[in-house]
Amino acid sequence: MTTVLDAIIEGVREDLTSRMGRTSLETIRAQAASRPPALDAHHALSGGRDDAAGVRIIAEVKRSSPSKGALADIPNPAALAAAYQAGGASIISVLTESRRFGGSLTDLECVRGAVDIPVLRKDFMVEEYQFHEARAYGADLVLLIVAALDDVQLREFLILTHELGMNALVEAHTVEEIERAAAVGARIVGVNVRNLKTLDVNVDHYSAMAHHLPQEVVRVAESGVAGPDQVLDYARQGADAVLVGEALVKHGNPTAAVRSFRSASLAKEAQ
């Protein structure tokens, strides 16, 4: 049976084929090589794991989603990213998938030019070309979705990511996927509480998965954040960082929203 994830990847491959027809792999590799070195996203998310700093926020530039449709009109992604950084975000996530998320590589490039913290290319990475492309447009971090890759691809893509100087957020949803991420040496592991095959969300899913995460990895809770209380909940369950999209783009004051999420996470020690 075809899943939502399968359908998304089919579209990603079609769009990728079109881009590869316009710009060769050799050219995109050269463009990637000409960029300044990638920023250290692993350090940005761990930072010595100082509890006094609270959880790190990965703040997302996200116009729409397959589950919710249009979320926000974002005419100036650079300004939004700068507002996130002003609020204390550690990383800016930029959706670059166009069909269902309304993103683009142009958004990524604009955001990279507007902030001096690491930038995540959030997309469905299924071919080598995309990794050089990510670096060419300024990404410091890429997303590797375990459910979308076999073990050979996962390992080879993680190696390629590191060879290009970037880090990878390796996303899992099940215990088996967490184990697969650990087996290839992932240093940053996210648990998405949204099942990408069905788009169902269960905010309690992080709690169920948290104790399966290796202690040495940076642990990221993804999705399901409606407000500060959920950030605090994830922090109490051991998350080092929380990825937030919809709640930020719909807030109206992104700087204040990021600040409130950071502040909320500090309460895990006080209560």
Task: Exactly one of 64, 93, 167, 192 is catalytic; name it.
Answer: 192
The residue that leads in pLDDT, 193 or 264, is 193
Specify the residue for token string 């589950």: 67
Dist. CA 263–CA 238, nearest whole Å: 16
pLDDT surpassing 70 at residue 268: no
Task: Exactly one of 97, 133, 171, 246 is catalytic; name it.
Answer: 171
**pLDDT score for 53:** 67
Does residue 222 carry a catalytic annotation?
Answer: yes
pLDDT surpassing 60 at residue 50: no
Read off the pLDDT of each residue in 143-164 and give the average, rounded to a whole number.
Answer: 98
Specify the residue for token string 């993680």: 158
When mean pLDDT is compared across 63-67, 123-127, 143-147, the lowest value belongs to 63-67
**pLDDT score for 264:** 83
pLDDT surpassing 50 at residue 34: yes
Does residue 127 carry a catalytic annotation?
Answer: no
Task: Exactly one of 65, 223, 265, 268 is catalytic; name it.
Answer: 223
**pLDDT score for 79:** 96
List the beta bridge partners of residue 190: 171, 220
Query: Mean pLDDT in the chain?
Result: 93
Task: Exactly one of 62, 64, 97, 109 is catalytic; name it.
Answer: 62
Task: Exactly one of 122, 133, 195, 268 is catalytic; name it.
Answer: 122
Task: Exactly one of 64, 222, 246, 268 is catalytic; name it.
Answer: 222
Does residue 269 carry a catalytic annotation?
Answer: no
Does residue 34 carry a catalytic annotation?
Answer: no
* Rg of the chain in Å (alpha carbons): 17
Does residue 109 carry a catalytic annotation?
Answer: no
Q: Please tell me the CATH code under which domain 4-270 is placed.
A: 3.20.20.70
Does residue 223 carry a catalytic annotation?
Answer: yes
Read off the pLDDT of each residue in 177-193 and give the average, rounded to a whole number.
Answer: 97
Dist. CA 82–CA 254, nearest whole Å: 10
pLDDT surpassing 80 at residue 271: no
Helices 175-183 and 151-163 pack at an angle, to 10 degrees, of 50
Dist. CA 25–CA 31, nearest whole Å: 10
The model carries a pTM of: 0.95
Does residue 10 carry a catalytic annotation?
Answer: no
Between the alpha carbon of residue 6 and those of residues 43, 126, 161, 206, the distances in Å are 33, 12, 23, 23
